[in-house]
Structure 1
Amino acid sequence: MLAHSNGAAGLHPVPALCYGGYHITGGYKWWCLTSSTCLGWSLPLEVLSSWYCSFSKCCETGDCRVTNNITGLESDLNRRLHGQHLARKLILRAVRGFLQRPQPEKALVLSFHGWSGTGKNFVARMIADHLYRDGLKSECVKVFISLFHFPHPAYLDSYKVQLKKQISETVNLCEQALFVFDEAEKLHTDLLDTIKPYMDHYDSIGQVDYRRSIFLFLSNSGGNTINEVALDFWRAGRAREEITMEYLEQRLWMELKESPGTAFAHSHLLEENVIDFFVPFLPLEFHHVKLCARDAFLAQGLPYTETALDEVARMLVFVPKDERLFSAQGCKSVSQRINYILP
């Protein structure tokens, strides 16, 4: 279905449904004011953007696709990320500090480490949801999954060209772009080194400035060291909240550097300090899993009891064998487990 608006050259087709973004149609520049009505002008986009943003919060970022809702991010991290005092504090400070700088020296690069189900993907989604109007669906956000997007070593040269092209096109489209690399430990070293210049201290590459970009690497590597530290604290009768970044960071860095099976060990990202922060995600204990179960019940609009939360948590496997302290799956399958206890 098409709507029409009179322009200087007559009738021009306009999409009937618009979503508050810019659209280029038949040489005309369209500003979508509502979900069902578009008005067309031949004025420059920056003029229309400036006019519209005088009535809207989008002028705070200069791009209505970018929201940078740090208050919302802080609230979500505090309410919904369980058992991760180090990650919560470090991520919030890093993202807030980066966005407050008028001209960063380089892109922000965060590397999330820990067992599966501890919250790495969960936080990446939070960041996208609060920094971009359309979250992970935003044209400013690109997610790459190692074994899905780059499965065959024989095509490595082609992957390198495609990856550079996608990063360049995304930053050309959105100055503040977000790139998420899931299963980063399985990325080929050459791929990491190919994208290193976009994260390093360069004013521009090919006349494009990448210094407002954000790169997130999500990896299970380093999980053993993180878990050993958490277990040592528990055995010593110390609260996990006493674990500090100063105590953990060097140990995590050494495991990443010395692990022969990970891309990080051989890439220049570690050697040349391109990664700004290594973010540890601690293993989750029984009471953390119960909090995840509570959140899952609430998300589905279902009532719950303490007995129900205990039952969901007991369905998971806990390790080590003797202590049964940490969930081997984190909170990854909690929402699916709820279905088994519903009447």
Structure 2
Amino acid sequence: MAMEVTTPMMEAASKGLLGTKHRISTVTSPLRAAYRIRHKYLVMKRRRVSVEQSEAAGDEGPGGRYLPTKGQDPLEGAFKHRAKSAEHFTFEKVPVKTVKRKRSNKRRKVLYPSDTRKYLPEEKKSKAKNCLFLLSLIVFFQIYNAIENLDDNVLKYDLAGLEKTLKRDVFGQTEAINTLMDLLRDYLATHIHNKPLVLSFNGPSGVGKSLVGRLLAKHFRSVLRDELVLQYFVLHHCPDQNNGTSCLQELAGGIANMVSQAEEEEKIPLLIFDEVEFMRPALLDFLQAYLQPHQPNEFLNAVYVLISNYGQGEITKFVLQNASSGLAREPTRSEELLFNVQSSLSQFHPIWNHAEIIPFTLLERIHIEGCFLEAMMREGHYPDTTQLNDLSRELNYYSAGSHQYSIHGCKYVGSRVSLLH
């Protein structure tokens, strides 16, 4: 056996060689790694170029399968072919039925935590409610003020006192007085009007027409002034019917002065014409001109009263015919009476087309006794019931069923009382 002989020189040489190899390996290992990486990069680059060339040349087989080229890795080529084909892959739209959920009308409950307080949502106050409330308040005060003004106008004429006086002194004409007061209240409630108020008292003699006219004049003189009340008696103020021109001029001047003063004081004058049945047609035509609506404002605010015996035949006939059947006092019959009287008055003159007709009906025997009592009290007599019956029996009456109506009303009551001692 041969033996290896190692000398110190050989050991030293071997140690030096190993150190040199170690130093070389530490330098060349990074270079080798870089070389391997570059080699793999070039191989992959060549493969990619070959794949692109094969795709451009039509490397796909039948059925769209991929056929690798010569010298190409089959797995890598198939993977790239699949990725390329995925770029051009499209999905077909499949119709999908969508189910619409019905909207629930029930409101979902608000769930509050158990450890907190529950607060209702805060209601914001609208400013429109305040404006509406303010507007309603303004309208209310305007209406209230207008009503107060109407009451003030009516109170100025003291119509309540006038009604008491008429019902106390006038007998048997309750319906006529109620109609008169209603018309006066409606007209005197305001100061501005579009036409004058024309009242016509019609009926037989002695039933209270002239008495009501005198009471009206007396009352309005007390609440207004004498200058705002005209009481015109035809036979007294114009006795000479042939001299009608002077009567017209005098009447025109009186009416003009009266309405002018009333307009300045914001009052409504009263003009009473008694014994109208004795007026000539020219005087009626002149008076009708003041009753038209197209006039100056001061002539539109006035009350005219026409007192006459026109229509007494229709009133007497109506009362007697209906007294026997018990329908004389029914309100439904008064419309028929007004129609009959209106038709009769229109035949005399068209001035009554502008008037409100107030018929005065016949007086019964009990009303005549009241007239005797009033007249005897004024003369200082204190009659008893027997004396009143005897005095009322002396007058003439219409007999209709169980009723007795005086032919001349209370016209001759004063003359009979004056003969008493």
Distance 1:109 1:159 in 2: 21
Does residue 129 (structure 1) correspond to residue 218 (structure 2)? The answer is: yes
**Deviations 1:197-227, CA, capped at 9 Å, x for gaps:** 32221351xxx61222111111011001001
Say if 1:324 and 1:238 are closer, same or farther in 2 by CA, change over 3 A.
Answer: closer
- 1:290-329, aligned counterparts within 5 Å? 290-319=369-398, 325-329=404-408
Say if 1:303 and 1:210 are closer, same or farther in 2 by CA, change over 3 A.
Answer: same
Query: Does the aligned pair in 2 maintain the 1:70–1:130 contact within 8 Å?
Result: no
SS in 1 for 2:408: coil
Query: Does the aligned pair in 2 maintain the 1:192–1:269 contact within 8 Å?
Result: yes
Between 151-160 and 100-109, the greater mean CA deviation after superposition: 151-160
Instruction: Pick one of 128, 152, 168 that aligns with 1:79.
Output: 168
Instruction: Pick one of 172, 177, 189 that aligns with 1:100.
Output: 189
Distance 2:298 2:305 in 1: 18
**Deviations 1:166-216, CA, capped at 9 Å, x for gaps:** 111222233422211111122112211212232221351xxx612221111
- 1:88-167, aligned counterparts within 5 Å? 88-133=177-222, 138-167=226-255
**Deviations 1:123-144, CA, capped at 9 Å, x for gaps:** 1122222223179x92222222
Instruction: Pick one of 327, 338, 342 that aligns with 1:238.
Output: 327
Q: Which has the higher strand share?
A: 1
Instruction: Pick one of 288, 292, 297 that aligns with 1:196.
Output: 288
**Deviations 1:304-341, CA, capped at 9 Å, x for gaps:** 21112112212222246999932222112323322334
Look up the match of 1:288: 367
Say if 1:291 and 1:170 are closer, same or farther in 2 by CA, change over 3 A.
Answer: same
Query: Does the aligned pair in 1 maintain the 2:220–2:270 contact within 8 Å?
Result: no
Q: TM-score, normalised by structure 1?
A: 0.70
Aligned AA for 2:336? Y
Distance 1:217 1:341 in 2: 35
Size of the aligned set, in residue pairs, is: 267
Say if 1:250 and 1:218 are closer, same or farther in 2 by CA, change over 3 A.
Answer: same
**Deviations 1:240-284, CA, capped at 9 Å, x for gaps:** 3556431211100112223xxxxxx23x324xx321x11101011
Distance 2:330 2:211 in 1: 21
Distance 1:312 1:286 in 2: 11
Q: Which has the higher helix share?
A: 2
Look up the match of 2:414: 335
Say if 1:341 and 1:157 are closer, same or farther in 2 by CA, change over 3 A.
Answer: closer
Distance 2:249 2:391 in 1: 46
Q: How much identity, in percent, do the aligned residues show?
A: 29
SS in 1 for 2:157: coil
Aligned AA for 1:167? I
Gaps of 5+ in 1: 1-59, 259-264
Look up the match of 2:351: 269
Query: Does the aligned pair in 1 maintain the 2:324–2:401 contact within 8 Å?
Result: no
Deviation at 1:157, TM superposition (A): 2.4
Say if 1:248 and 1:322 are closer, same or farther in 2 by CA, change over 3 A.
Answer: closer
Query: Does the aligned pair in 2 maintain the 1:196–1:269 contact within 8 Å?
Result: yes
SS in 2 for 1:304: coil
Aligned AA for 2:293? H
SS in 2 for 1:325: strand
Query: Does the aligned pair in 1 maintain the 2:327–2:333 contact within 8 Å?
Result: no
Gaps of 5+ in 2: 1-151
